[in-house]
A and B are shown apart, each in its own frame.
Chain A
Amino acid sequence: MSDQVTRRAFLAAAGAAGAVWLAADPDLVQAAVAHARRQAAAPPPHRFDVLTPEQAADLEAVSMRIFPTDETPGAREAGVIHFIDRSLSTYAADQKGMMITGLGDLNTQVKAKWPGAARFSALTAVQQDEILKEIEKSPFFGAMRFVSAVGMFGNSSYGGNQGQVGWKLIGFESHGINQPPFGYYDAEVMKGG
């Protein structure tokens, strides 16, 4: 097996919409990191760069159904929406149209289903899940799943994974130096077990 087999798995998992996020210039990514650092250093309240407050509320609500806040932190605590906003304002600017169109379609569906509802973020969690199930195969949802995962588990320098809540959730430590034993089973062997 080729060593980077997971890229294939990614293409399958994230779908075509996620795949387009792959094709950026690393220099632009670096610019985005620098931008994220400046934003993080800016005094609160943080304003979004490209998203309106309503768009941000809706996209954050979608990310919060993918990684809900329950006994453990989720997309909200990780700041997934800030990763999304900063990406769309920099190296992924060309993705903004697709995201906003996808969100518009979702809100059209929301209003068709619940005529009184203002928008996705105004629904109950149960209603949100109900409608997301209907669009879970769509490019928009695939892209949201991708950006939510990066916003949860990517480096904090991109704006998400704040306080490393994503890494804490999965038991991942990012420091550079480790010593054996690394896990339970090699520790057992070291002890002569």
Chain B
Amino acid sequence: MQTRPRVTYPDTTVVDFVIVGSGAAGGVIAKELSTQGHSVVVMEQGPRLDPSKFEHDEFKYHFRNGISNPAPTSWRKTAQDEAKVGDGLLLYARLVGGSSVHFTANFWRLHEKDFMERSLLGGVPGADLQDWPITYAELEPYYTKVDWEVGVSGTPGPFDPPRSRPYPLPPMPVKSSGVLFERGAKKIGLHPQSSPMAILSKPFNGRNACQHCGYCMEYGCEYGAKSSSLASMIPVAEATGKCEIRPNSYVRKVELDARGRATGVTYFDALKKEHLQRAKAVILCANGAETPRLLFNSASSRFPQGLANSSGLVGKNLMFNGGAAAMGVFEHPLNEYKSIQCTRLSHDFYDSDPKRGFYGGGGMDARFQQYPIQFALGGLPTDAPTWGSAYKKMVGDYFSRSMTVAGHTTSLPVPTNNITLDPKAKDDWGLPALRVTYKDHADDLKISQFLLDKQMEILAAAGAQKKWVAYPAIEQQFTAHLLGTCRMGKDPKTSVVDIDHRTHDVKNLFICDGSSMVTSGRGQPTMTIMALAFRAGERIGGLAQRGEI
């Protein structure tokens, strides 16, 4: 790879593309378009941190928004309720690389059926379940690009969809939780498999292999072994000499000209001074909450209900993925705090099965879930003492011997679950804050409970001395998965972007991130977001080359 000096573009330059967001989607598209020779500016609201500055500090990273968004978000369950800031938590990472920096790195592909559940299963009352406008076969080459360019370790499992190329890297070494999960799952007749992880089991593409430090979920990887955009894509994009990553740049509005074409974005710099970056085309990769917020904040006389929102679907059909958690304690130490979060999973209940009487499917995995402070506060069985000598002894006895079996489930697209602008609360820039309206569909809670029962069975069959429900199948007030809010489709009346990720309403405005997803999958959406981004990068680049933007 020939490395050119990092480029910076003055605001007055009309670049080919401005991309809003440097995370899973933005990093991939920036790399694709810049390697094709296009000039690209990537706007990132957060700072640029050198990986050597990532810390093993649970208090800062988990409890004090070390690298995650401090922006106020108000929550309510239905439109009849008043939304309150603090009633729920919407989490994303706010730095160059976005949430791919702090993700857990579970990289599950969607299955063929995920793309056509409406056709296979019919409609679901209370939900707007639709087929995707593309198939698994169309996306498969791009999943393979993620495997090979971003870096995924794994080995195929019995329920996996077909793949055109093997994994580039062998699976990560199994942990005690994986051994026990596999033992328990097999005993009850299931078919456990290795967890595919976007973490390098061996050195790859000039990057280090995992050092098993244990700080993946919610942390940045100082070794560069976790396959974030920051570690994998952004260096390639910058090496082209065509791509500028612009940190501390908070985009306020997409600008339009009199003809209804996007002309660039208005943004605040680190000192909250306003600038306009002009571009021939704008690509929003800001995540499934911030992308719709930006479209609403870009409303104009031409688009009074929000930019690119003639369908009325911007912000709607918000999906989180669900799932409950079971925990168990075993005779000997597992030391789950070492190495990556997950090494074994089951996809036996991936498919929605009409015989269950409700829509939904999911996966289960064995995982390390709670670092020491969190474990002390919430890691013990619900009937355990919460303070005093017996409590202290139990925290000490249980920490190294316990593990979590987590469920990861479908969320139905429910039109009343959405992202809107809060009418009162403002962010630090004076812009209307995010407002989440979310109430799990009854079927979403049923599949969570269905899997939770299996999770408890697995722990029992694995020989747990004691098992308990750590988090029940209840309505969610937390999310790190932000999906479905600008869904992809062929019909401009029922979708926001077309199969090229071009908005139906504005010819040179594109959207690709979790918001593009038509259905939720079974958790672990980042693999799919990155695959969509590789595909979008190729197609948008093709449109540009043919003069069709």
- Do A and B come together as binding partners? yes
Q: Residues of A at under 8 Å CB distance from B?
A: 1-14, 18-19, 21-26, 29, 65-68, 70, 72, 74, 91, 129, 132, 136, 145-146, 149-150, 152-155, 157-158, 166-167, 169-172, 174, 176-180, 182-186, 188-189
The 4 A-B pairs with the shortest beta carbon distances in the complex, nearest first, are A1-B323, A183-B176, A184-B332, A153-B372
Q: How many Å from the CB of B41 to the closest CB on chain A?
A: 26
Q: Residues of B at under 8 Å CB distance from A?
A: 56-60, 62-66, 70, 86, 89, 91, 103-104, 106, 173-176, 178-180, 211-214, 217-218, 222, 320-325, 330, 332-339, 341, 369-370, 372-378, 386-389, 391-393, 395-396, 399-400, 406-409, 470-471, 476-481, 523
User: Is the Cβ of A183 less than 8 Å from the Cβ of B377?
Assistant: no
Q: How many Å from the CB of B256 to the closest CB on chain A?
A: 35
- Measured between beta carbons, the chain A residues less than 8 angstroms from B389 are 68, 70
User: Is the Cβ of B59 less than 8 Å from the Cβ of A183?
Assistant: no
Q: Can you report 19 residue pairs joining A to B where beta carbons are below 8 Å apart?
A: A2-B323, A4-B480, A9-B470, A10-B63, A10-B378, A11-B89, A21-B63, A22-B63, A155-B56, A170-B395, A171-B335, A174-B56, A176-B56, A178-B338, A178-B339, A180-B173, A183-B175, A183-B332, A186-B178
User: Is the Cβ of B212 less than 8 Å from the Cβ of A7?
Assistant: no
CB closest residue in chain B, given A63: B387
> How far does the alpha carbon of A146 sit from the alpha carbon of B332 in the complex, in Å?
28
User: Is the Cβ of A182 less than 8 Å from the Cβ of B212?
Assistant: yes
User: Is the Cβ of A167 less than 8 Å from the Cβ of B372?
Assistant: yes
- Measured between beta carbons, the chain A residues less than 8 angstroms from B341 are 3
> How far does the alpha carbon of A185 sit from the alpha carbon of B332 in the complex, in Å?
8
- Measured between beta carbons, the chain B residues less than 8 angstroms from A186 are 173-176, 178-179
> How far does the alpha carbon of A29 sit from the alpha carbon of B60 in the complex, in Å?
7
Q: How many Å from the CB of B196 to the closest CB on chain A?
A: 15
CB closest residue in chain B, given A91: B64
> How far does the alpha carbon of A169 sit from the alpha carbon of B395 in the complex, in Å?
8
CB closest residue in chain A, given B392: A67
Choose among A7, A24, A180 the residue that contacts B478 (Cβ–Cβ < 8 A).
A7
> How far does the alpha carbon of A68 sit from the alpha carbon of B390 in the complex, in Å?
9
Choose among B58, B86, B176, B372 the residue that contacts A185 (Cβ–Cβ < 8 A).
B176
CB closest residue in chain B, given A73: B392
A9, A91, A167: most-surrounded residue (chain B CB, <10 A): A9
- Measured between beta carbons, the chain A residues less than 8 angstroms from B179 are 185-186, 188-189
> How far does the alpha carbon of A176 sit from the alpha carbon of B222 in the complex, in Å?
10
CB closest residue in chain B, given A14: B377
Q: How many Å from the CB of B458 to the closest CB on chain A?
A: 14
- Measured between beta carbons, the chain A residues less than 8 angstroms from B372 are 153-154, 166-167, 170, 172
User: Is the Cβ of B213 less than 8 Å from the Cβ of A26?
Assistant: no
Choose among B63, B222, B330 the residue that contacts A150 (Cβ–Cβ < 8 A).
B63
> How far does the alpha carbon of A145 sit from the alpha carbon of B392 in the complex, in Å?
12
> How far does the alpha carbon of A29 sit from the alpha carbon of B57 in the complex, in Å?
11
- Measured between beta carbons, the chain B residues less than 8 angstroms from A68 are 388-389, 392
- SS class of chain A's interface: helix, strand, loop or mixed? helix
User: A2-B321, A169-B396, A178-B339 are contacts. A12–B378 as well, Cβ < 8 Å?
Assistant: yes
User: Is the Cβ of A6 less than 8 Å from the Cβ of B335?
Assistant: no
Q: How many Å from the CB of A12 to the closest CB on chain B?
A: 7
User: A155-B57, A185-B332 are contacts. A178–B211 as well, Cβ < 8 Å?
Assistant: yes
CB closest residue in chain B, given A189: B179
Choose among B176, B387, B523 the residue that contacts A182 (Cβ–Cβ < 8 A).
B176
User: Is the Cβ of B213 less than 8 Å from the Cβ of A176?
Assistant: yes
> How far does the alpha carbon of A189 sit from the alpha carbon of B332 in the complex, in Å?
14
Choose among A9, A23, A67, A146 the residue that contacts B471 (Cβ–Cβ < 8 A).
A9
Q: How many Å from the CB of A34 to the closest CB on chain B?
A: 13
User: Is the Cβ of A184 less than 8 Å from the Cβ of B323?
Assistant: no
CB closest residue in chain B, given A72: B396
User: Is the Cβ of B396 less than 8 Å from the Cβ of A171?
Assistant: yes
- Measured between beta carbons, the chain A residues less than 8 angstroms from B339 are 178, 180, 182
- Measured between beta carbons, the chain B residues less than 8 angstroms from A72 are 392-393, 396
- Measured between beta carbons, the chain B residues less than 8 angstroms from A65 are 387-388
Choose among B334, B374, B392, B478 the residue that contacts A183 (Cβ–Cβ < 8 A).
B334
> How far does the alpha carbon of A5 sit from the alpha carbon of B325 in the complex, in Å?
9
Q: How many Å from the CB of B523 to the closest CB on chain A?
A: 7
